[in-house]
Structure 1
């Protein structure tokens, strides 16, 4: 039996801290009001939230909105509520144990379990990166005419962006991502105003419909939305980036850190829900309402938007928002790749090499896919990548729930019963939907 972790002890040399360049680098004030302390903790939630609005979300939301109108808004809402709960649990175990999810898996599980979990996490990150790299490259092509293949290669530069920002400090990286999210929100606010949706139908779309489960095509896209929203790599990332704050190491200090980190991620993910909803609402009110029910290619959406809405501004803002989403999401996915590699394998490289390795792992398959399929197959690949994420999700959620309920390791910081019940309910729903999807693929017409 693995001995319990001393949650108040410093990291041992055999278990180095996660993301050592920024570990406990942001000071938390011991005195001051609620808002001052909340501001100190705000940041990690936005690094996580940007992964919930990456180009993979765009592909699934465009496909769902154009084909089924506002129906799949219920899936976006449900997925976001799941994400808020699961990320709160991530913050809890990161603060309580001083370990990230990958480190905990290595420490608790035998190698026969830990290594397959590591491989699955790497596959999930590759699927994430594939979507983000292709989405960024599409945006560069639409806005600046850069060929798709060259655009994918250019995304390697984000590795150096991360290094520069981390050398400046964690707050700089968080400020960049927060600025991107605000700009993305502004772009979609204008697009929704121009598309003039039917708000009664929008609100009705948040009510779950039976067809989401009974219609095989709707279920496939719904699984893509789920995989694009509750992303496995974000569970690993959040348990690591939350440790960038230098909270007090006693139980009271950790309880306060959990509370503020949960507020931070909940606010950030609510903003991500608004943006994801805006993508689907824009697709439904622009394409589905005009009879264009098969718009799944991001490029097609960009080209149709101006004539359908009578404004070039809408298309330009669409491209700008896509570019910002892609850049921001690749930054955080690269950080997640570092967390997974170092946590599971304790494989450490110089920062420059490590960043380039994690980026090349994604760029190589993206270049091959882009070379073979070009722009014509990107939509199907984007949606497929999100379904892969959904299938991988239980292998991150179930370990998370096991650690969240582990009183031997968390002690007084163990998750409350209502969170555990809802968390295991989320895990059960995810597993059931995956089994239904696999059954349909295997035995469907």
Structure 2
């Protein structure tokens, strides 16, 4: 009897990618500051992510190409094509390097619960040994592993991370009436920034590229679209459940001063005792490690696709691209630097990229000349257009936030 998990593949990598230290922190602070009131925003973001990722997976299976390859080979004005290629390289390459720094630092924050890695002071610079070790661990797994091996490792980490956060959420005995009430939208102006952050940590531009590439390698063509849909729907919904559990943990915390997810453990000591910090520490460690692997993997696939190089994970081009992303992340995190300018530019580039790339894939998905009978129907295009308006709002908010910091 065939295993029901035989055709479950790249979806868990997408869940692993968006549940990183940033998501853990944003969801935690949303719970701390607003209780359960913003659970509806997470439900909205989960739905939007499933719809956009299904479109990219379908594009990959029908065309046999990922999004970066399609951008490179599209017909029309060559100036537009080169501008699009440059924008994608800037947003994904620069953005993922900045995110990798945060992923490695967040992983080390969880590691510190179990082992306080030494910090060496050199003049005005701090050398964080824990960040260096974790960065090399992530790169080692990328260097030695295949896609199949990475899937197994990441699925295992996602399962353990999910158990840590979901178990923690249940043991805090949440107020179920308030929790269910949080599923009903009731936004106010004071919540807008947090709402944008919650959606923005789930609807991630580089995941759109990542899933199209992995889906076309996992399955053999359009006949496997039903398997792809099950894969992405199950994975994203389970990932969303973890995000909701993290928000619930934040809402249950009694900590007086919270600046990151790990601070929540102090407010959970009445439930878990000293074990609270180990639960949160392990969850943050797993979340950071999974994102530390998927961010350079996605960047490598995009960079090689745009430049027309081999996307085999063991090819020289892929190893160079992934190594560059991890290397920059190690440099910034290990030396204790705060790459504010880099992160600011990454936010600006992704703020532009998200509505552009989501609008482009919606347009591609509606074209009979590209997807034939697998194209979006009218109701699917209307629903996708609504999602595009959300990504446009996210992009504008990111741009305005960046401009407001100058």
Alignment partner of 2:246: what SS? helix
Residues 186, 96 of structure 1: alpha-carbon distance in 2 compared, 3 angstrom cutoff: same
Name 1:322's counterpart in structure 2.
Answer: 284
Checking the alignment, whether the CA contact within 8 Å between 1:92 and 1:415 is kept in structure 2 is no
Shift of 1:171: 2.9
Cα distance per residue 1:162-203 (max 9 Å; x no partner): 23221xxx3322121111111112112321233111011011
Cα distance per residue 1:44-100 (max 9 Å; x no partner): 111111112111101111221111111121111111110011111111001011111
The structure 2 residue matched to 1:360, chosen from 303, 319, 327, is: 327
Shift of 1:442: 6.3
Name 1:4's counterpart in structure 2.
Answer: none
Alpha-carbon distance in structure 2 between the residues aligned to 1:95 and 1:311:
49
User: What is the TM-score of this pair, normalised by structure 1?
Assistant: 0.79
Name 2:103's counterpart in structure 1.
Answer: 132
1:171 pairs with 2:134: no
Alpha-carbon distance in structure 2 between the residues aligned to 1:178 and 1:230:
20
Alpha-carbon distance in structure 1 between the residues aligned to 2:246 and 2:345:
19
Cα distance per residue 1:404-424 (max 9 Å; x no partner): 122212112212332222112
Shift of 1:347: 4.5
User: 1:34-433 maps to which residues of 2 (within 5 A)?
Assistant: 39-108=5-74, 109-147=80-118, 149-154=128-133, 155-166=135-146, 170-211=147-188, 214-215=189-190, 218-247=191-220, 254-287=221-254, 292=256, 295-302=258-265, 304-347=266-309, 350=316, 351-367=318-334, 370-371=336-337, 392-433=353-394
Cα distance per residue 1:92-138 (max 9 Å; x no partner): 00101111111111222521232123212223323432331121111
Name 1:7's counterpart in structure 2.
Answer: none
Runs of at least 5 residues in structure 1 that lack an aligned partner in the other structure: 1-31, 248-253
Residues 161, 437 of structure 1: alpha-carbon distance in 2 compared, 3 angstrom cutoff: closer
Alpha-carbon distance in structure 1 between the residues aligned to 2:347 and 2:281:
21
Runs of at least 5 residues in structure 2 that lack an aligned partner in the other structure: 75-79, 120-127
Alpha-carbon distance in structure 1 between the residues aligned to 2:198 and 2:145:
31
Alpha-carbon distance in structure 1 between the residues aligned to 2:267 and 2:118:
21
Residues 372, 113 of structure 1: alpha-carbon distance in 2 compared, 3 angstrom cutoff: closer
Cα distance per residue 1:370-410 (max 9 Å; x no partner): 3459xxx9xxx999988985664223312222221222121
Residues 391, 73 of structure 1: alpha-carbon distance in 2 compared, 3 angstrom cutoff: farther
User: What is the TM-score of this pair, normalised by structure 2?
Assistant: 0.86
Give the length in aligned residue pairs. 385
Alpha-carbon distance in structure 1 between the residues aligned to 2:68 and 2:262:
37
Name 1:5's counterpart in structure 2.
Answer: none
Name 1:15's counterpart in structure 2.
Answer: none
Alpha-carbon distance in structure 2 between the residues aligned to 1:391 and 1:223:
15
Alpha-carbon distance in structure 1 between the residues aligned to 2:328 and 2:218:
29
Residues 244, 438 of structure 1: alpha-carbon distance in 2 compared, 3 angstrom cutoff: closer
Alignment partner of 1:175: what SS? helix
CA root-mean-square deviation: 2.8
Checking the alignment, whether the CA contact within 8 Å between 2:213 and 2:301 is kept in structure 1 is yes
